[in-house]
A and B are shown apart, each in its own frame.
Chain A
Amino acid sequence: MKVLAVAYEEKDIPELIVGTRKFVGDSANIVLLAVHKSASSGDFNINVDKVYLAETSRPEEIVAAIVKLVNEEGVSLIVGEAYKNLRDAFSRVAGQLSMPLITDATEIKLGDDRLVVKRGFLSEKAEMIAEVPLPAAVLFLPRFVKAEGVEGGQPVVTRLEELGGDSKVRLVDVKPKEVGGANLEEAEIIVGVGRGFKSREDLEMAFELAKLLNGQVGCTRPIAADLKWLSEDHWIGISGKRVSPKIYFAIGISGSPQHMSGVQSSKIIVAINKDKSAPIFKQADYGVVADLYQFLPVFIKKLKERLG
């Protein structure tokens, strides 16, 4: 069984190797294609058959590299993790090579000529188990396994140059995304803010609460995308981040499925909202029906007193 593993971030390399060995078996022959940041990480003394490097993040060029390697290597499974650039590239590869593609997979199981896959469905309210024929492509949710116990090795490393790809799409400019230093994936306590806040200045209360509890501030889509009160690295939900803190405070958040799918794995959810019929209260462990402008200052004061 030959597997092409396409790494995007540096940490994808050990994860894809551990994940492939876990789900496909130790005998899997892994060909690693490292693109974007993973291509310049340098340490390729790992237990795979071959390594190819393509220092690009452009979907067009990643498509060209994958198709070239699938044809040359005779691959029956292509795996990667679900970043936007790879969603784009994998969808085109799947169309071009007419193979099934499963995105956001959490687990796969290999049959004779079939693959059984598990993925989230319906805003993470359900899980789908489906079967597709091989060859197939799979994009796992990032961090789908722990990158532990990668064995060493001496694979041949080849650099792929001048991939070209789709030359009719010309690059005019690359702009960085505004980053506000949030690191929500690691946070144990997250204070989530929504449209219940009336101005950007008022978010100061949320930051004060987060600081007090050694946590971070997250937000819903409108706060980051429409109002731009916070940078996009604060955005939690379907198009934003998925988080799993010990406490998620949903403050002035109504509880749309698009947002809630991103906080489902929180241990405890606390909702603060003045509208007692807001759907958030059905999805929270503890609810406070109150105007956040009245409750938050008191809550912060009490916490300060009790924390000493």
Chain B
Amino acid sequence: MNDIVVLVKASLNPDMVRVGSDGSIDLASIPLKISDIDRNAVEEAVRLKEVLGGKLYAISILTWGPVASRMKDLKLAVQEALAKGVDEAFVVADDSLTPGDQATTASAVKEVLSKEGIKPALILAGEATIDEVTSQVPGRLAALLGYQYLSFVRKLELSGGKIIAERDLEDYIEVVEADLPAVISVTQEINEPRPPTLLQIRRASRKPIKELRAGDLPGIQMPLRKILGIKGIQVTRKQVIIEGSSMEEIADKLIDALIQEGVLKI
């Protein structure tokens, strides 16, 4: 009961979106990468592992298929967590679960825990993942497991089996005290994640990654959401670089351009 679980998502990389001339987006062509805020969750989990003294597991559920072409990115994301100090990882990848939704992800995590007999004291996750930014999975998971849920935590202390956390809520900061077990979502302010060293990366290649399919998880909730369409939003910015022989000339040209656009009145 001293174990910690950290959730890691291989997210669609929003920096690599290409919108076709007809506004179409091919999701399968967008590479996956570890969601930025998950790095903070991993960093915090490694720190707390020293306090609790148990094992640290990472669980990753593949949301975006097809599995065959996504396994490499998924494993890279998980290997980063292993390199940072996670002991063992579980990945769930099954074409029947993609494209996934947040209900499926939360229930898959619950099923992995029960199948593997893991009863974590703490489950850590990022406050949101970079592709959909819904902040849903940790809260859903807490509800499914009957755990306490501390959302948007930007400062965390653990002593004597109690958590003291600062939550960054909508219009104020809440300091709360809670017992274990708990699900905690962290914000980027909680720490400064350090990239793993080469030695850590090399050692991580020997750590186990267990692959599971939908059939291994009998109670899993199949995706309820059906994606009907993804449309690229074409932002057609003019991309005019204003040039000139002096700063004065450039400044004048910029002012002229803004007047011309009707957004600056002089």
Residues in A lying within 8 Å of B, measured CB to CB? 8, 57-59, 83-85, 87-88, 90-96, 98, 100-104, 116, 121-133, 166, 168-177, 213, 221, 225-226, 238-239, 246-247, 257-258, 264, 267-270, 276, 281-290, 294-295, 298-299, 301-303, 306-307
The A/B interface has a contact count, at CB < 8 Å, of: 240
A1–B239 CA distance with the chains assembled, in angstroms: 48
B76 within 8 A of partner (CB): no
B216 within 8 A of partner (CB): no
A284–B241 CA distance with the chains assembled, in angstroms: 9
Collect the chain B residues with CB atoms within 8 Å of residue A104's CB. Answer: 133-134
Out of B14, B137, B148, which one reaches A122, CB within 8 Å? B14
Are A175 and B238 in contact (CB-based, < 8 A)? no
Which one of B242, B247, B252 has the greatest number of beta carbons of chain A within 10 Å? B247
Are B103 and A91 in contact (CB-based, < 8 A)? no
Known: A104-B133, A126-B25, A286-B254. A95 touches B140 (CB 8 A): yes
Are A91 and B135 in contact (CB-based, < 8 A)? yes
10 contacts between A and B (CB under 8 A): A85-B170, A88-B169, A95-B103, A98-B221, A103-B135, A122-B14, A170-B176, A172-B176, A173-B174, A302-B255
Looking at B53-61, B84-92, B206-214, B222-230, the stretch in contact with chain A turns out to be B222-230
A90–B86 CA distance with the chains assembled, in angstroms: 31
Chain A nearest CB from B191 CB (Å) reads 12
18 additional A-B pairs beyond A124-B233, A172-B177, A290-B250, beta carbons within 8 Å, are A57-B169, A57-B170, A83-B170, A87-B135, A88-B135, A103-B136, A125-B14, A130-B226, A166-B148, A169-B178, A170-B178, A175-B173, A177-B171, A247-B258, A267-B261, A267-B263, A289-B241, A301-B251
B contact residues, range: 35 or more
Chain B nearest CB from A53 CB (Å) reads 19
Collect the chain A residues with CB atoms within 8 Å of residue B233's CB. Answer: 124-127, 264
Are A257 and B252 in contact (CB-based, < 8 A)? no
Collect the chain B residues with CB atoms within 8 Å of residue A174's CB. Answer: 172-175
Closest 9 CB pairs of A and B: A91-B139, A95-B143, A95-B140, A123-B14, A173-B175, A298-B247, A302-B251, A88-B151, A175-B173
Residue in A closest to B152 when the chains form the complex, CB atoms = A84
Known: A85-B169, A121-B132, A127-B230. A92 touches B239 (CB 8 A): no
Collect the chain A residues with CB atoms within 8 Å of residue B179's CB. Answer: 168
Are A303 and B231 in contact (CB-based, < 8 A)? no
Chain A nearest CB from B148 CB (Å) reads 6
Chain B nearest CB from A103 CB (Å) reads 4
Known: A57-B169, A298-B248. A169 touches B176 (CB 8 A): yes
Are A123 and B225 in contact (CB-based, < 8 A)? no
A302–B132 CA distance with the chains assembled, in angstroms: 43
Collect the chain A residues with CB atoms within 8 Å of residue B138's CB. Answer: 91
What does DSSP make chain B's interface, helix, strand, loop or mixed? mixed
A290–B128 CA distance with the chains assembled, in angstroms: 36
Residue in A closest to B11 when the chains form the complex, CB atoms = A122
Collect the chain A residues with CB atoms within 8 Å of residue B15's CB. Answer: 257
B79 within 8 A of partner (CB): no
Collect the chain B residues with CB atoms within 8 Å of residue A168's CB. Answer: 148, 178-179
Residue in A closest to B142 when the chains form the complex, CB atoms = A92
Out of A83, A98, A294, which one reaches B103, CB within 8 Å? A98
B52 within 8 A of partner (CB): no
Chain B nearest CB from A55 CB (Å) reads 15
Are A131 and B135 in contact (CB-based, < 8 A)? no
Chain A nearest CB from B143 CB (Å) reads 3
Are B169 and A84 in contact (CB-based, < 8 A)? yes
Residue in B closest to A257 when the chains form the complex, CB atoms = B14
A154–B150 CA distance with the chains assembled, in angstroms: 38
Are A286 and B188 in contact (CB-based, < 8 A)? no
Are A126 and B261 in contact (CB-based, < 8 A)? no
Known: A57-B169, A103-B136, A170-B177. A126 touches B250 (CB 8 A): no
Are B140 and A92 in contact (CB-based, < 8 A)? yes
